[in-house]
Amino acid sequence: MPGFELFGADERKQVNDVLETGILMRFGFDGARKGIWKAKELEATISKKFGCRYTHLVSSGTTALSTVLGALGIGYGDEVIMPTFTFVASFESIISVGALPVLVDVDDTLTLNPDAVRKAITPKTKCVMPVHMCGAQADMDSLQQICKEHNLILLEDACQSTGATYKGKYLGTIGDAGCYSFDFVKIVTCGEGGAIVTNREDVYLKSDGFSDHGHDHIGVDRGADLHPYLGYNYRISELHAAVGLAQFSRIDEFLAKQRAGHSQLKAILAQLPEISFRRVLDEAGDSCTFLSWFLPTTELTQAVVAELKAQNAWGGNFYWFDHNWHYIRKWEHLKQGVTLNALHPEYKAAIMQQANKDFGPSDAVMSRGVSTQISLLISEQQIKEKGEKIVAAVKKVLAAQKISA
Ligand SMILES: *Cc1c(COP(=O)(O)O)cnc(C)c1O
Q: What's the pLDDT tens digit per position in 86-115?
A: 999 999 999 999 999 999 999 999 999 999
Q: Which domain holds residue 96?
A: 3-251
**Arithmetic mean of pLDDT, 14-42:** 96
- Any idea what the CATH number is for the domain that residue 114 is in? 3.40.640.10
Q: Which of 183, 216, 251 is the last residue of a domain?
A: 251
- 313 shares a domain with 203: no
Residue 59 C-alpha to ligand 1 middle, in angstroms? 11
Tell me, in angstroms, the distance from the centre of ligand 1 to residue 160's CA: 7
Question: Within 13 Å of residue 170, how many CA atoms lie on the same side as its CB?
Answer: 24
Ligand 1 atom having least distance to the Cα of 63: 9
Reference 90, options 129, 135, 117; nearest CA is 129
Give yes or no: 186 in active site.
Answer: yes
Q: Are 229 and 141 part of one and the same domain?
A: yes
295 and 207 in a common domain? no
Same domain, 294 and 227: no
What are residue 83's DSSP bridge partners?
104
Angle at CA of residue 318, ends 312 and 319, nearest 5°: 100
CATH number at residue 292: 3.90.1150.10
Query: In sequence order, what DSSP letters do the residues of 155-182 get, joined into one string?
Result: EEE-TT-TT-EETTEETTSSSSEEEEE-
Distance, CA of 22 to CA of 33 (rounded, Å): 8
Domain end residue (candidates: 205, 220, 251): 251
Count the domains in the chain.
2
Together in a domain, 193 and 277: no
| Same-domain status, 277 and 221 | no
pLDDT at 220 over 90: no
66 lines ligand 1 (CB under 6 A): no
Q: How many CB atoms lie within 10 A of CB 298?
A: 15
Catalytically annotated residue among 38, 126, 186, 257: 186
pTM score, two decimals?
0.97
The amino acid present at 268, given as its one-letter code, is I
> CA 323 to CA 360: how far, in whole Å?
17
pLDDT in tens, 291-325: 999 999 999 999 999 999 999 999 999 999 999 99
Distance CA 137, CA 379 (A): 26
* Together in a domain, 257 and 247: no
50 plus 34 within the same structural domain: yes
Query: Does one domain contain both 226 and 260?
Result: no
Q: Are residues 47 and 118 in the same domain?
A: yes
| Contact assessment for residue 254 and residue 246, using Cβ atoms and an 8 Å cutoff | no
85 & 226 share domain: yes
Helices (H), 29-105: 38-50, 61-71, 89-96
Q: Which of 160, 184, 187, 289 to mutate to test the pocket of ligand 1 (most atoms within 8 A of CB)?
A: 160
Q: Whose CA is nearest to atom 15 of ligand 1?
A: 160
Q: Which of 192, 226, 251 is the last residue of a domain?
A: 251
